[in-house]
Amino acid sequence: MNKIEEKIKQTLEKIRPYLNNDGGDVEFIKFEDGICYVKLKGACAGCVFADMTIQNTVEEILISEIPEVIKVLNIEEA
C-alpha cells in the first residue's frame, strides 16, 4: 500500500464515527488517477442522502487533507 492510500485510510477513520452514529460506514476500495473509490455500507448504502454524504463529507474532507485526491466516487453494490 502506498502513502496516499494510507493517508486516505487514516482520514476515513476520522470520518467513520459520524457515519457509524447513523448506522452507516465507509470502506476504502482503491485510489487511481486522483480518484478515491469507496463503498458506503450499512444504513448509508441505501440512503437517499448517500450522494450528499460522499460529496459534502467524504470528498470534501479527503480533498482538503490529501491534495492528490481530486474526486471521490461511491462504488454501489450490484
For 38, 40, 45, 67, the CA distances from 60, given in Å and listed in that order, are: 14, 16, 19, 11
Instruction: With a cut of 50, say whether residue 78 has pLDDT above it.
Output: no
43 closest CA partner among 15, 27, 21: 21
**pLDDT single digits (tens) 1-41:** 699 999 999 999 999 999 999 899 999 999 999 999 999 99
> What DSSP character marks residue 55?
I
Domain 3-74 falls under CATH 3.40.640.10: no
How much is the pTM? Answer: 0.90
The C-alpha atoms of residue 37 and residue 34 are separated, in whole angstroms, by 10
